[in-house]
Amino acid sequence: MFADHGDDRKDADITEQAIRRLVHAFYARVRQDPAIGPLFNRQIDDWPAHLDTLSAFWSSVMLSTGRYKGTPMAAHMRLPIEPVFFEHWLALWGRTATDLFTPETAARFIGKAERIAESLKLGLSLR
């Protein structure tokens, strides 16, 4: 009699605003982080523009908007990134997502980030 709206509501908490909030909160933490903050702060000259790019990236990943037009692998290939950075980045991302969202929504963001990190790690290992 009642339709199951579980699948329809799965993405209800993932909006452009939610993505922007996560990206901004996460990178505010990254900038202060003693392990990975220095790398980011050396590389990023224009944080507002970078946060807009990252919001577009996550919008494309989570909402299939196609707003991001860059190449993440190429952007990361020129950076002195070590595998341990990914673990730290993922832990910080996970804590931020968990702080901001329901467990289900946080898990979706965390799962995507883990898959992206694995792909980047593999690509960077080939350089």
The residues, any chain, with a CB within 8 Å of residue 110's CB and separated by 6 or more, are: 90, 93, 94, 97, 98
pLDDT of 14-60, one tens digit each? 999 999 999 999 999 999 999 999 989 998 999 999 999 999 999 99
Mean pLDDT of 104-126: 91
Residue with structure tokens 């980045």? 89
Q: Is the dihedral of CA 77, 54, 93, 45 positive or negative?
A: positive
> Mean pLDDT over all residues of the chain?
87
Specify burial of residue 105 (Cβ count, 10 A radius: 0-12, 13-18, 19+).
buried
Note whether 76 and 110 are within 8 A (CB).
Answer: no
pLDDT of 48-84, one tens digit each? 999 999 999 999 999 999 999 988 877 777 777 777 8
Which two tokens mark 13? Answer: 């908490």
Q: Which range, 71-80, 85-94, 118-127, has the best average confidence (pLDDT)?
A: 85-94
Question: Could you give the domains of the chain?
Answer: 13-125 (1.10.490.10)
Q: Kindly report the length of the chain.
A: 127
* Total-model pTM: 0.85
Distance of CA 17 to the CA centre of its chain: 14
Q: Measured between alpha carbons, how far is residue 34 from residues 12, 23, 70, 79 in Å?
A: 34, 19, 28, 17
